[in-house]
Amino acid sequence: MTATAAEPAVDARGLVKVFERGRRTFWQRLRGEPDRRERFHAVDGIDLRVERGEIFGLLGPNGAGKTTTMKMLATLLIPTSGTISVLGIDVLARPRDVRARLGAMLSGERSLYWKLTARENLEYFAALYHVPPRQTRARIDDALTSVKLLDRADDYVERYSTGMRQRLALARALLPDPPLVILDEPTVGLDPQAARDLRARVRELRSQGRTVLLTTHYMEEADQLCDRVAIIDHGRIVALDTPGALKRTIRAEEVVRLEIGLADDGAAVLERLGRSATVARSERHNGTLAVTAHCASARDFVPAAFDAARSAGATIQHVEVVPVTLEDVFISLTGRALRE
């Protein structure tokens, strides 16, 4: 019955979630009209194995299916098809046992009671989550210590900053003392300092021996925080590895960003640039063309780019050699930027 340490924290296979677009009205239902709504795959065949003790990130743009995947893992949504086992327990067969072992902070359910203190909030949620009464006090203190709010436990939540509220929401997820913590966009809406602080708390969860599965659409966050990252797009995993290995899949060693002033549509200059680098992305804005090029050597490519621009009647206004990021990996896999 109990999970052994050998079992992965999460093992999902062939995960699919189909939704209908639009709505079917009461009258359509009453008249028994056929359901003509378009069905689409929000999650389209995901296989995911998260090992114990790692911080695993799902990175992808808006609408990629990250939250839907997390909700299925957290027993909050039933998959259309596929299997999920969490800590060796079948999620569909034993959802209660899974819920008792995971702490989830999902978007849309971060509400805390502002007129209560942090401790009162956690007492309320501890009762709701069936934390044994004898353990409640210790669990709350542990959870507050984990998020560095113990000294502010008796302050009203309405006097908390956004970052503190987010940390308290994380403390709430830690109340069951879960071996697995699921965080959906944990730093969204936080200022850089508060986001850094929350990431430090997440790293501490790993050092306490917990497994963390999180989603993000911030590539820097995935890069800095996660041991492994799955890049997800249109409900599918398009790449999965350590951040370092993902960045090494970009064959080019350097990424050069150019801003080119144009008199025409830019086709000529792009064609010429393409002879000495891979143009990963180009975007026109008024008379300027922003180009991201992947090349073997910026020292060779940059002069070639100036020649290309000159012979196409364009001018390079700005050149920047930048390190490869997970954004570049995403662009090379999908042809789009993460934040489009």
Ligand X SMILES: Nc1ncnc2c1ncn2[C@@H]1O[C@H](COP(=O)(O)OP(=O)(O)OP(=O)(O)O)[C@@H](O)[C@H]1O
**Which residue's CB is nearer to ligand X, number 57 or number 65?**
65
Q: Would you count residue 75 as binding Mg ion (CB under 5 A)? A: no
Q: Hey, which residues does 318 pair with through a beta bridge?
A: 259
**Angle, helices 162-174/133-146, rounded to nearest 10 degrees:** 140
Residue from the set 14, 24, 33, 63 that interacts with ligand X by CB under 6 A: 63
Using CB under 6 A as the criterion, what x/- string covers residues 209-248 for binding ligand X? --------x-------------------------------
**Which residue's CB is nearer to Mg ion, number 67 or number 332?**
67
Q: How far is the CB of 63 from ligand X (least distance, A)?
A: 4
Q: Would you count residue 179 as binding ligand X (CB under 6 A)? A: no
Rounded CA gap, 279 and 271, in Å? 9
Q: How far is CA 73 from CA 49, 312, 328, in A?
A: 12, 53, 29
Q: How far is CA 121 from CA 3, 166, 167, in A?
A: 31, 13, 13
Residue from the set 12, 64, 122, 316 that interacts with ligand X by CB under 6 A: 64
Half-sphere exposure of 293 (CA within 13 A, CB side): 30
* Per rule CB under 5 A, count of chain residues that contact Mg ion: 2
* Burial of 134 from C-beta contacts in 10 A (0-12 / 13-18 / 19+): exposed
* Residue 202 binding partner per list Mg ion, ligand X, none, with a CB distance cut-off of 5 to 8 Å that depends on partner kind: none
Looking only at the bridges linking them, the beta strands covering 288-295 and 254-261 are antiparallel
Only segment of 24-32, 66-74, 75-83, 216-224 that touches Mg ion (CB under 5 A): 66-74
Q: How far is the CB of 30 from ligand X (least distance, A)?
A: 22
Q: Would you count residue 60 as binding ligand X (CB under 6 A)? A: yes
**Which residue's CB is nearer to ligand X, number 143 or number 326?**
326
Residue from the set 12, 66, 87, 219 that interacts with ligand X by CB under 6 A: 66
Using CA of residue 330, residue 332, residue 333, residue 338, what is the dihedral sign? positive
Residue from the set 64, 67, 314, 338 that interacts with Mg ion by CB under 5 A: 67
Q: How far is CA 200 from CA 122, 147, 225, 335, in A?
A: 22, 9, 9, 32
Q: What is the DSSP letter of 37?
A: P
Q: Would you count residue 303 as binding ligand X (CB under 6 A)? A: no
Q: How far is the CB of 62 from ligand X (least distance, A)?
A: 3
Q: Would you count residue 67 as binding ligand X (CB under 6 A)? A: yes
Residue from the set 46, 48, 50, 65 that interacts with ligand X by CB under 6 A: 65
Looking only at the bridges linking them, the beta strands covering 228-233 and 288-295 are unpaired
Binding positions for ligand X, rule: CB under 6 A = 19, 42, 60, 62-68, 217
